[in-house]
Amino acid sequence: MNKQQISAFQFNAVFFSFITGSTILNAPAPMIGFAQNGAWLSVVISLAGGLLLLWGMLFLYDRFPDLNLIEYSRKLVGSWFTWILAIPFITMQLHSTAGIVVDVGLFMTTTMMRETPLYVFVLLIFLVSSLTARAGIEAFARLFPILMATVLLFSIFVMILASVDYDPSFLLPILPDGIKPVLLGTYFFFGIPVTEIILFSMLLPYVRKDERTKVKKGMVYALIINHILMILVTVSTLLVFGPIAGDRPFSMYEVARTIALYEVFEGSEILIGYSLIIASFMKDVVSLYMMNVTLVAMFKLKDKQIFIFPLALVSFLFAMVFISLGVRTWATFVTVREPLWKGVAYVVPLIVLVIAALVKGKRSVHQAEKMNTFS
């Protein structure tokens, strides 16, 4: 049993912060680069896939409400096969944890503080993230709703102020090159942020027993709202930059830089800079905590926080390796290879476990029917 317990609202706040945070600030540019004016259609298609993944998670949660993904995997497919599934699962988490911080560092060194070495930002963020994760899920679950509210407030505020520069003609034609670019955009968006919802199967047992029904509804609503916000941010970027929107990294920051209303509202990009840092910090805390929970479950340890600081150090070293590869190599890896890797690391285990649960469920029903026949 988990000693720490959180409410359904707190869990859904953490869930929403994780899937929304840095995504609405980082994802629009590469997705527009793939899908062009049809980028918002890629988000809609990804939502359908995300709801399907969420159904699989909640189906297993109903069967094993007190166990995380690693624990019920042992019951369904055995320890050895669980290890086979867990190796890419934990490796991808390590990559993502390091990558989140690399993105923040690249943002800071290319926009706001260009003379500061990249490793300074990476080291500081890992230090703060590890200390926050070490405090436990109860602590950061109380903090995140407040921080996420400021991120959403500033993002919406910037979109409203930027509306004076919107050009609706930039949204047409929606499919200038057919459906293929939209599918490429879907591959990127579904593959990177959407598949990460499966990681929350590691945290669902922390929800209080009397609020398990609420948490399932809340996750569905959070996922839908996340995609609505993503559509708004994507459309806002297209309305401002049109054909060059895909070439503007950190889209909302670039949108904020265009705002200059009567020399009163200027410098609003600072709000987006704050939002990106805070959102990435929250996501990295959760990612680090989930990675620790995964390893603790794999090795069946009693100390539930033993891996947090070592994992933060290893993630920092991984981040340094990513930085040494160069910005272009890193960007190519994230946009082209990472979606496929996450599909293998996250989606494949979920599909295997859902199938195993369905097969075992049918066998149990069949055995019960036999027992009733003989009795």
CATH number at residue 313: 1.20.1740.10
- pLDDT-derived band at 261 (thresholds 50, 70, 90) equals low
The radius of gyration of the chain's CA atoms, rounded to the nearest angstrom, is 21
Tokens at 227, concatenated = 């995609």
φ, ψ for residue 300, nearest 5 deg: 55, 50
Q: What is the mean pLDDT of residues 239-255?
A: 88
* pLDDT of 189 over the 90 cut: yes
Residue 46 maps to a domain: yes
pLDDT above 90: residue 373: no
pLDDT of residue 335: 87
pLDDT tens digits for range 29-56: 999 999 999 999 999 999 999 999 999 9
Residue 276: inside a domain: yes
Flag whether 332 is in a domain: yes
Give the whole-number percent of the chain exceeding pLDDT 90: 68
Q: What percent of the chain has pLDDT over 70?
A: 94
Residue 280, domain member (yes or no)? yes
Q: Are 118 and 106 in contact (CB under 8 A)?
A: yes
Provide the pLDDT for residue 251.
86
Query: What is the reported pLDDT for 367?
Result: 54
Cα separation, 244 vs 232, whole angstroms = 18
Contact status, residue 25 vs residue 276, Cβ threshold 8 Å: yes
Which backbone phi and psi does 5 adopt, to 5 degrees?
-135, 140
pLDDT for the residue numbered 374? 47
What average pLDDT does this structure show over 243-256? 87
Residue 1 lies in a domain: no
Report the C-alpha gap between 228 and 37 in whole angstroms: 16
Q: Judge whether residue 369 has pLDDT over 50.
A: no
Residue 184 is assigned to a structural domain of this protein: yes
Please compute the mean of the pLDDT values over residues 143-152 and round it to a whole number.
94
Q: Model pTM?
A: 0.93
In a domain, 2, yes or no: no
Q: Which CA distances in Å does 198 have to 135, 171, 298, 308?
A: 23, 33, 17, 20
Range of the domain at 208: 8-374
Look at the chain and report how many structural domains it folds into: 1
From residue 213, alpha-carbon distances to 60, 109, 193, 222, 260 in Å are 14, 44, 25, 15, 47
Whether residue 173 has a cis bond before it, omega within 30° of 0:
yes
pLDDT band at 365 (very low <50, low <70, confident <90, very high): very low
CA angle at 282 for the pair 278 and 287, rounded to the nearest 5°: 145
